[in-house]
Chain A
Amino acid sequence: MKIPLSYSFRNLWTRKLTTIMTIVGLALVVFVFSAILMLANGLEKTFVGTGSDQNAIVLRQSAESEALSSVSLEEANILSTMPEVALGADGKPLITKEIVTMINLPKRGASENDLSNVIVRGVSAAGLVLRPQMKIVEGRMFNFGASEIIVSKGIQQSYTGVDIGSMVKFGGRSWKVVGLFDAGKTAFASEMWADNDQVRQAFNRQGFAVVIFRLKDKEAFASIKSKIAADPRLNELKVLHEQEFYAAESETLATFIRILGLMVTIIFSFGAMIGAMITMYAAVANRTVEIGTLRALGFRRRSVMFAFLIESLFLALIGGVGGLLIASLMQFVTVSTTNFTTFSEIAFSFEMSPRIIITTLIFSLVMGFVGGFLPSFRAAKLNIISALRSA
């Protein structure tokens, strides 16, 4: 016969203080555990969302990041005449030749010398068409041929001197901020955009950094890849799916956050498991007579063990859900740090996902199981007569 679940659950409330303390301990561990997963997930999502699976990006073969890549004018021109490049409504190829460079800007609230690197991207007219996630939310788009820039809303909020109408100095010129854009949760949200030819002239570059274009159809990627490899004029270049490229940019940092965070969490989850174990051992010790009574009534050893294990799993589940609830509040927090692949600042937020919820709940149940196993085993092992006598 089974012991009813309510027995296990109600027992938790007989000693509230101890139960609450154990739950809080478990919840703290779960909170850190899921917050770290959310952080790594948010970072990856930002970069994956930056690229589109319909676009391809061409870089110099040796370049790991856009800023270190270079594509010459000739190479860019050859690429724009390729039949694999999709055409826009106006019949022009959907291709953007971009310059990616960085400038220093002071963060709001930081000292004057505390500068962070912000990406400045020079784009062709097709640049906006290729990134439908980009929208101008205030002011207007920059005019091609003018020294004007548009700034991401996120950058405008966290840096000084980039509000609409203000002048930003870089590349030996002053640039007027004419608009703010919203790029959702993408890496573009940490950038400033301008006319590619203006940026190229200002920084005195011979060519562009990368070329990005819309693929005509699914087969176009393979065909352009083999063309680039075979063409002696282009074989110093490589072509990648845009989405894959940006995902790879976040890989190092995301792995770092995961490994570091999980290692630390796993070590101190032992602390919480031990807390649960102490609580459960005490629960067993305090209820020795009760256990004896249950056994005398005919409940099996298995049922007793099950009842205590369930109690411990309840503890863990409440802790796990509590921890997840606190962690989900972190979704409103945006973190900004340097991405060591590009050496520029990148803003991203904690991002919850169903997978994280499941992983976290499993993690907390494992803690409850490990913590509760030995105490329940002890409860099941008790001898009826000595248990009843122990009062």
Chain B
Amino acid sequence: MKIFKLIFRNIFRHKLRAALTVLGIAIAVMAFGLIRTMVGAWYAGSEASAPDRIITRQAVSFIFPLPLADRDQIVRVPGVKEVTWLNWFGGVYKDKNNFFARMACDPASFTDIYPEYKVTPTELETFKKERNSCIVGQKLADLYHFKVGDVIPLDGDIYPGKWEFVVAGIYTGEKPTTDVSAMYFHWDYLNERITQTQPSRANNVGWYVIKIANPNEAATVSERIDALFKNSSAETKTETEKAFASGFIAMSSAIITGLQLISYVIIGIIFLVLANTMIMTARERIREYAVLKTLGFTGKHIALLVFGESLLMALIGGVIGIILLFPISAGVAKGMTQFFPYLAIAPSTIGIAVLFSILVGLVAGFFPATRSMRIKIVDGLRQIG
């Protein structure tokens, strides 16, 4: 056990250097965790999807609308339980940076198909009754301090004009992965105004969300729906909710790959900082190691000393980095609400960060440890500086 005491004491001989190294590792581990958390935020949408929901969109891109008339045909497809539809509204709330998803929905069928959005019965009642009302997610309400009864003004871009929606309720998520950062309002209200201002765009639907009776039939039901509209002016593409969400992720795959590359560069930097410190430390202590050998300690003991020190520093740095990750990612989420409304740190991120710290600790200690282990007593004692 004596050797552990020695390792511990050794670290703190150069207090400043140890502190700097640990800090460097901590920051790098934190940056690594932050990147993984950001990448994870991308995938969050596809993980929250339900197996019994499929989505029908215009075959080329969901930016092209589908006619509302398709609904009547989709409902009759065998295996379909219920159909609802959504329109992406876009728009600007006060400032372009206040980005959150705003969608037009059919409240009755929407709340049936998305049971994971929880609203109190009275709030649900008002939402269904009031045509200009909307519901907002809990996190959105926290961020912008929306309360029931507030009016949310939006400047339309896809749907031009000034729009105002009254908050009827604030919904919470059934599970932590449920997205509670969107706003939903009445499709009828939107359609009514568009019918007046731009009649050619009336009765258009962004995409259909379809609840199916049996999740195992997703593929066959999807084929049946797409067959209905084959060779029409608006061909459709139907896929599971998960595939639909993954489509979004695939669009930014180049950015995700870039971020992942950066995270490996960061590991490289942790390694360089720690290896540098360990090499310096071992070089300075060559005489000591020679003395230890003279006293009868073997090369193994000395290698253990170096490895232990490297590993311990990496671990301390790693743990501090993980602790720092929490406030920092909360700050980043706040600074970049436009892109990442919320960042949740996955347990796997913490696990991988710890794993990498250990790995870096071992690899960084390898070179100085082998060198110190092999030194000849005579040479070591002769060494100056």
Interface residues of A (CB under 8 A from B): 17-18, 21-22, 24-25, 28-29, 31-32, 39, 61-62, 64, 67-68, 101-104, 114, 117, 172, 203-204, 206, 256-257, 259-261, 263-264, 267-268, 270-272, 274-275, 277-279, 281-282, 286, 335-338, 340, 343-344
Contacts and interface: CB of A to CB of B under 8 A. Distances in A.
A277 B251 contact: no
B98 interface: no
A39 B255 CA distance: 11
A260 B262 CA distance: 11
Contacts of A31: 265
Contact of A282 (B17, B62, B253, B336): B17
Interface string B352-385: 0000000000000000000000000000000001
A62 B27 contact: no
B272 A25 contact: yes
A51 B336 CA distance: 30
A268 B27 contact: yes
Given A103-B60, A256-B339, A343-B61, A271 B253 contact: no
Interface of B: 16-17, 20-21, 23-25, 27-28, 30-31, 34-35, 38, 59-64, 90, 156-160, 200, 231, 233, 250-255, 258-259, 262, 265-266, 268-270, 272-273, 275-277, 279-280, 328, 332, 335-336, 339, 385
B59 A25 contact: no
Contacts of B269: 25, 28-29, 268, 271-272, 275
Contact of A21 (B25, B59, B258, B275): B275
Contact of B251 (A18, A259, A281, A338): A338
9 contacts: A18-B279, A21-B279, A28-B269, A39-B258, A102-B61, A259-B336, A272-B273, A278-B21, A337-B254
A172 B270 CA distance: 56
A271 B273 contact: yes
A117 B63 CA distance: 11
Contacts of B250: 114
A271 B158 contact: no
Given A268-B27, A271-B31, A64 B279 contact: no
Contacts of B259: 260, 264
A134 B265 CA distance: 39
Given A62-B157, A278-B17, A282-B280, A267 B24 contact: no
Contacts of A257: 255
A263 B332 contact: yes
A230 B275 CA distance: 71
